[in-house]
Amino acid sequence: MSEKNEDMIVTPWKVSGEVDYDRLIEQFGTQPITENLLERIRKHTGEIHLQLRRRIFFSHRDLDWILDMYEAGKKFVLYTGRGPSGPVHIGHLVPWFFTKHLQDKFDAKLYFQMTDDEKFLMHPEFTLGKVIDLTYDNALDVIAVGFDPEKTFIISDVNHIKTLYKLAIRVAKHVTFSTVRAVFGFEESSNIGMIFFPAIQAVPCFIESMLTGENVPCLIPAAIDQDPYWRMTRDVAPKLGYYKPAQIHCKFMPGLGRGGKMSASMPETCIFTTDPPEVAERKVWNAFTGGKPTLKEQRLEGGDPSICTVFQYFSFFFEEDDKALKELEVRCRSGDIICGECKEKLAERVKRFLSEHQKRREKAKDVINDFFIDDKV
């Protein structure tokens, strides 16, 4: 372990410190996404998605095996999710757009889990009514991403437990308190709902297999902080006669403040999907950049895109064109452009995106029941 980043914490409940993704690959025992793997993917997708070519999705487990299976004619399902503890922000949406890309290119079903039970159990002040409302609210954002209603199944743990419980207790039977303590850091004072919950989060890996009676591979695109769940789930899977779920892990989209993952607990550094355009614009204008204190210094010395959140936003989502992104970087470093220009451009793109997303989000209200799993299986 290097001396640097000793304050790095990456767990399903907390991400803090400067995140060293190479070290996470080592710590978690995952595999980096290689050029080789990208070439294999390109054969099926015809292009390499922005989030792969820029290594926003940077790590995996068994993605090569998923491709082996796919190439042998065995389709996989996708599984991702959301803990509905507040409104959705752009940091949440980023991997969902990638998941939609995978759904489209691999013609894959998607199980999307809303872990409303966990959020209720974790937050002393949350009522069931609150998490159920948040599930509905957040589901609108999921749907607005454009997933195929025929192939997408949104699961509210609280409301759709009937579909989950049999698999959950089959999983739970193979998981001891020792294990969840070691994997998740549970303590004597943890409530018994939280202790059981990892079994619930494991379930969507196996729903397709349960429903079809076949053993169906599952690929989980999600941020790397969720990895402990899948380590546990991978240990249990063979005991149930199912394939271990494969994973593809993404980085955290930074907030607009100085350092750290985008977090709803710092609303000023975080663009929510329902922010009015002028609010989002203000947040972009207040963003932390790699610019110099004065215009003169900026022109002379240039800025530092590597620490600039505005540049990160272009890179993660708002500049599709690699050449344009590269040019932006070069012009910043040379002092050819100043922060105001970048912010103006990003603000325009954010506002355009929000305006379109918000329209799709409104339309989602009419079709939300086409997505909930209990109405479909």
- Between CA 66 and CA 59 the distance in angstroms is 14
Residue 187 as a binder of a second copy (CB under 8 A): the answer is yes
What mask of x and - would describe binding to a second copy in positions 147 to 166, judged by CB under 8 A? Answer: -----------x--xx--xx
Closest approach of a second copy to the CB of residue 195, in Å: 5
Looking at beta carbons only, is 187 or 320 nearer to a second copy? 187
Contact (Cβ atoms closer than 8 angstroms) between residue 20 and residue 5: yes
Looking at beta carbons only, is 177 or 326 nearer to a second copy? 177
352 CB-side CA count, 13 A: 9
Q: Which residue has the tokens 């993660």?
A: 316
Residues 6+ apart with CB under 8 A from 300: 335
What mask of x and - would describe binding to a second copy in positions 194 to 233, judged by CB under 8 A? Answer: -xx-xx----------------------------------
Please state whether beta strands 15-16 and 9-10 pair in parallel, antiparallel, or not at all (unpaired). Answer: antiparallel
Closest approach of a second copy to the CB of residue 211, in Å: 15
Looking at beta carbons only, is 196 or 230 nearer to a second copy? 196
Question: What does 20-75 look like in DSSP terms, one character per residue?
Answer: -HHHHHHHHT-EE--HHHHHHHHHHHSS--HHHHTTSEEEEESHHHHHHHHHTT--
- Between CA 142 and CA 112 the distance in angstroms is 9
End-to-end Cα spacing for the chain: 47
Which stretch in 143-151, 169-177, 251-259, 310-318 sits in contact with a second copy by CB under 8 A?
A: 169-177
Which stretch in 72-80, 142-150, 180-188, 330-338 sits in contact with a second copy by CB under 8 A?
A: 180-188
Looking at beta carbons only, is 34 or 176 nearer to a second copy? 176
Closest approach of a second copy to the CB of residue 173, in Å: 5
Closest approach of a second copy to the CB of residue 247, in Å: 22
> Which region holds residue 19: left if phi is over 0, alpha if psi is between -120 and 50, else beta?
beta
Closest approach of a second copy to the CB of residue 149, in Å: 23
Closest approach of a second copy to the CB of residue 157, in Å: 8
- Between CA 320 and CA 365 the distance in angstroms is 29
Site for a second copy in 314-333 (CB under 8 A): none
Closest approach of a second copy to the CB of residue 186, in Å: 7
Looking at beta carbons only, is 186 or 288 nearer to a second copy? 186
Residue 4, classified by CB atoms within 10 Å of its CB into exposed (0-12), middle (13-18) or buried (19+), is exposed
Q: Which residue has the tokens 């620490």?
A: 307
Looking at beta carbons only, is 169 or 324 nearer to a second copy? 169
Among 188, 214, 320, 366, binds a second copy (CB under 8 A): 188
Closest approach of a second copy to the CB of residue 371, in Å: 19
Site for a second copy in 110-149 (CB under 8 A): 117, 120-121, 124, 128
Looking at beta carbons only, is 153 or 196 nearer to a second copy? 196
Looking at beta carbons only, is 190 or 274 nearer to a second copy? 190
Contact (Cβ atoms closer than 8 angstroms) between residue 13 and residue 243: no
Closest approach of a second copy to the CB of residue 202, in Å: 11
CA dihedral of residues 252, 226, 136, 103 (deg, nearest 10): 80
Closest approach of a second copy to the CB of residue 174, in Å: 7
Which stretch in 142-150, 167-175, 309-317, 324-332 sits in contact with a second copy by CB under 8 A?
A: 167-175
**What are the structure tokens assigned to 52, written together?**
């792969």
- Between CA 100 and CA 34 the distance in angstroms is 22
Contact (Cβ atoms closer than 8 angstroms) between residue 341 and residue 287: no
Q: Which residue has the tokens 């789930």?
A: 233
Q: Which residues bind a second copy (CB under 8 A)?
A: 117, 120-121, 124, 128, 158, 161-162, 165-166, 168-170, 172-178, 180-181, 186-193, 195-196, 198-199
